[in-house]
Amino acid sequence: MIGRTRIKICGMRERTEVAAVVAAGVDAIGLIFAGQSPRYIEPERAREIVASLPPFVDAVGVFVDQPLDEVNEIARYCGLTMVQLHGSETPDYCAAIACRVLKAFRVKDSLSTDDLAPYAGKVAAFLFDTFQEKLAGGTGQTFAWSLLKKLSPVSPVVLAGGLTPENVGEAIRQARPFAVDLNSGVEFAPGRKDIDKVRAAIAQVAAVDAAVSRLSADS
């Protein structure tokens, strides 16, 4: 982990809630453009939200196996700073995206560095989410964070999958990611964020970062 753990809140749909989570101190928001998601947002609405963001807060668009031209057009139209890919997109597909790419992988026992190696140099970071047979993401369930130990040379790592204010601290202790990605664990309904939960999660991240920093200083 380098410095403090960055925080992304995904599945945002309401401009007022975006303003609130940004004020609370998040580093990035996620906007889901996969039509099958209950948190889907129309590009026109997303564009208004992105235009309202202050400098240094990233706007991340989430896509699942969508045509390359469509992804690049939405990214351009909305002013996205990153694209997060949750499908079976190839390394060449990732390299053809017009902005930085987070490539998501669903964690299961068979996942290895051999699966990730072809993406090295073509994506900005690797995002690890919970494997569930019929869902590309947003499962609301955690995975065994210890499984990431065999992928330790991979960097930077973004940790997702069922993170909540109650477990995000332990997730960071075990996985030491560059960033965490929260969604359903800070909601009161799909696409609607509970700002108190967001603040609680941010506080937990800050607390564990401080503890890790103290341990590093003492060692």
Position 22 in a domain:
yes
The whole model's pTM is what? 0.92
Active site residues: 10, 129
Position 1 in a domain:
no
Work out the burial of residue 168: count CB atoms within 10 Å of its CB; fewer than 13 is exposed, 13-18 middle, 19 or more buried.
buried
Range of the domain at 197: 6-218
55-88 confidence digits (pLDDT tens):
999 999 999 999 999 999 999 999 999 999 999 9
Position 61 in a domain:
yes
Q: How many domains does the chain have?
A: 1
Q: Which residue has the tokens 């706007």?
A: 59
No. of H helices and E strands in the chain? 7, 10
3-class DSSP assignment, residue 60 = strand
Distance (Å, whole) CA 205 – CA 81: 24
Neighbouring C-beta atoms of residue 35, cutoff 10 Å: 8
CATH no. for residue 128?
Answer: 3.20.20.70
160-188 confidence digits (pLDDT tens):
999 999 999 999 999 899 999 999 999 99
9-67 confidence digits (pLDDT tens):
999 999 999 999 999 999 999 999 999 999 999 999 999 999 999 999 999 999 999 99
